[in-house]
Each structure stands twice: as structure tokens, then as C-alpha cells.
Structure 1
Amino acid sequence: MTAKVLALVGSLRAGSHNRQLAEAARSHAPSDVEIEIFDGLGDLPFYNEDVDTEAEVPTAATRLREAAGAADAFLLFAPEYNGTIPAVLKNAIDWLSRPFGAGALSGKPTAVVGTAFGQYGGVWAQDETRKSAGIAGAAIVDEVKLSIPGSMTRFAETHPADDPEVVEQLTTALDKLKANLPA
């Protein structure tokens, strides 16, 4: 059986190193793990319970929820914006947390990784992402920690998929995420 992992990237920038990291994860995933990188987080309106009704759910939110519903697990890529989680990633978690107690994240293994310009690689943002996703019902895989510092220089000329150390760390993270899937 192939495990389906939905990757959500918290950076919308065309040259995003976190997007590149997600691409590297997809390229180097084990043969029995399929990673889908969700495109469209930038299309999501800010979460508003007034428009989250059966009659009015925005198309972008429906697309996200359907993709999340089909996933066995989640891999969240969290850069650090001003010391915390990017709004676009937090907004996606908010949409996936509903309906309360039965959102698409509920009970599914979820790992958080990322890269950032700073010397700690986005640790604060990743911790906040774990916290938010966990409160939303995700089964956080705490043993997966991958914070790659100095993204602007480290990946200036090398794609993460071509960095042996990064590939090894991503492979380990994916193995740990896979080990948390129900048998």
C-alpha cells in the first residue's frame, strides 16, 4: 500500500527554499510513499466561520479539504516569518481544523520541517506550527525535527535535492513519519 502524504508549504515565493525542500522530499521519498505538494494556499481566504457553511465554503477551501481528506499523513514546511509561523500556513491549519473535532487533520500523523535564513533554521516557526496543528487535532510526530539554517546561502546555488546531508535528513524524517501510519 502506498502512503499518501500531503505537503503544505508555508512560503508562496516562487523561489522558496521550503518549496524546494518539499520537492526534494517528493523526489527522495521511499517507493511506498507518495508526496503531493498542495498548490493553492495563497488562494485561501482567511478563515471566517461565516463563510464556512455548507452553502458557502470557498472553492479553495474545498480543494484543500478534499486533498487533506485523501491524505494518510501531512508534512508541513514552515519557514519563519518574524519569529513565527507564516500566516498562509496557519490559515491552512485553521481551515483544516473544521468542522471542530472532525477536521481533515484529525488523528493523522503530521511532521513539521523547514529551512530559514536565520541561524536556527526556523525552529520557533516549526514549534508554533506543531502546536497549532496539534491543537487542530493532528497526531504530531515529535521525533521528526529538521530545521536547516542559512537557507539563503546554503541553497543559493544548490537545490536541497542535490544536498546529500539534506537528502539524508529528509529520508530519515519520512521514514519516521511513515512509521507512525496505521498498519
Structure 2
Amino acid sequence: MTNAPRFLGLAGSLRQNSYNFQLLEALKTIGQGKVELELYTNLPNIPLFNEDLKPIENRPKSVIDLCAQIEAVDGLVIATPEYCQSVPGVLKNVLDWISISKALDEKPVAILGGTTGIWGTRYAQASLRHTLVSIGSHTMQRPMVFVNDIRNQLPHGDQPIAPELGQRLTAFADGMQKWAALHK
């Protein structure tokens, strides 16, 4: 067992077989030894944000559990798709819930994302960085990983991960390791 920092991985998509969840799975494999990555799978059970539920005794159990998972790790990594040049509503919703807790206060957060189009989530990641700064997290600035044409870069069947994406994820895992150490 290594002393690798522990991260929770959150994919900002509800889609079954989400490309961004697969991107986190690839990062988990490639980053072994550098970071430990646990993948969050309960996103469909996070209800819509309702400020009437802001007092902790009124918050849904799924939200309390997610915040506890974030607090228990060294950092969070978010893989976001890009919808209409921004983050998906489901990701913004979960961040609204997290923002009323202390789970991301000064917590290291890394961002990456992929899309089937040509832009590779540039706008979504910029929007996400802005939101995370307002929540008080320490958002990793680089390396940035924007994956375009993601369906042809991820491993599937007998096809391995695209070599360039593998190299970028290796550098990203290195960055996560350094970022967590810097903000320990």
C-alpha cells in the first residue's frame, strides 16, 4: 500500500455508460500508485437543491453521505461533460448542495472532462472552476485535460486507451498527487 493521496471521483452525468465516468475509470487505472481513486456512483439519488432543506437536520441522507465522503478523502476529482457550453445541470445541482456544507472548504479539487465534439469541455471546465472557487476549494490549475472525440479515445473492446490520452492522464495523476501534497 502506498501513501498516495485519496480522491473521490465524481462524473457529472447521469447517463448509463457515461464517457466521463469511463474517463475516471481510466484515470483510476493509470493513476494507480500516484493517487487512490474511489468512484462516486450515487449521483442519481441526489435530489434537486432546495434551500428550505438547508439546515443540516433537513438535508437528504444522500447529500449528507456525499459530503461525508468528500470530507474523508484528500481531494475531489470531477469529470464533466459539456452541455450547451456549460456544466450539466446535475453537476451544478450537486455543487449547490455541497456549497452549503464545509466539505470543499480548502479541499484540493481537480477537473477534467470529455465530449464527443471538438471542444473537449473547455467552456464547462471554465464555468466549473468559477463555481469551485466560490465554494472555497483549491482548484488545480494544470495540467488541464480536455478530451475531444472521447468515444474514440477511451478503451473499449480490444482497443486500448489512445496513447496520447494515456499520457495526458498520467500527467494529470502526477498533478493530482502534487496538488494534494501542496494543500495537505
Give TM-score, length-normalised by structure 2.
0.89
Deviation of 1:32 (Å): 4.5
Q: Secondary structure at the match of 1:134?
A: helix
Q: Would you say 1:90 and 2:89 are equivalent positions?
A: no
The structure carrying a bigger helix percent of its residues is 2
Unaligned runs of 5+ in 1: none
1:5 to 4, 7, 20: 7
C-alpha offsets along residues 155-181 of structure 1, whole Å, 9 cap, x if unaligned? Answer: 495699622221211111111121122
Distance 1:172 1:159, change over 3 A: farther
Q: Distance in 2 between matches of 1:123 and 1:138?
A: 20
Q: 1:63-102 alignment to 2 at 5 Å?
A: 63-99=65-101
What does residue 110 of structure 1 align with? 109
Matched positions, count: 180
Q: Tell whether the 8 Å contact from 1:9 to 1:18 is kept in structure 2 after alignment.
A: yes
Letter in 2 for 1:37: L
> 4+ residue stretches of structure 1 with deviation over 6 A?
158-161
What does residue 167 of structure 2 align with? 168
Q: Tell whether the 8 Å contact from 1:120 to 1:147 is kept in structure 2 after alignment.
A: yes
C-alpha offsets along residues 77-127 of structure 1, whole Å, 9 cap, x if unaligned? Answer: 01001111011111121111123xxx2111111111010022111110111
Q: Would you say 1:131 and 2:133 are equivalent positions?
A: no
Q: Distance in 1 between matches of 2:10 and 2:125?
A: 13
Q: Tell whether the 8 Å contact from 2:23 to 2:154 is kept in structure 1 after alignment.
A: no
Q: Tell whether the 8 Å contact from 1:117 to 1:152 is kept in structure 2 after alignment.
A: yes
Q: Tell whether the 8 Å contact from 1:134 to 1:140 is kept in structure 2 after alignment.
A: yes
**Farther-moved stretch of structure 1 (58-67 vs 151-160):** 151-160
Q: Secondary structure at the match of 1:165?
A: helix
Distance 1:27 1:156, change over 3 A: closer
Letter in 1 for 2:31: A
Distance 1:108 1:159, change over 3 A: farther
What does residue 35 of structure 1 align with? 37
Q: Secondary structure at the match of 2:8?
A: strand
Q: Tell whether the 8 Å contact from 1:17 to 1:151 is kept in structure 2 after alignment.
A: yes
What does residue 120 of structure 1 align with? 119
Q: Distance in 1 between matches of 2:137 and 2:118?
A: 28
Distance 1:161 1:170, change over 3 A: farther
Distance 1:28 1:159, change over 3 A: farther
What does residue 25 of structure 2 align with? 23
Q: Secondary structure at the match of 2:52?
A: coil
> RMSD of the TM alignment (CA)?
2.0
Give TM-score, length-normalised by structure 1.
0.90
Deviation of 1:50 (Å): 1.1
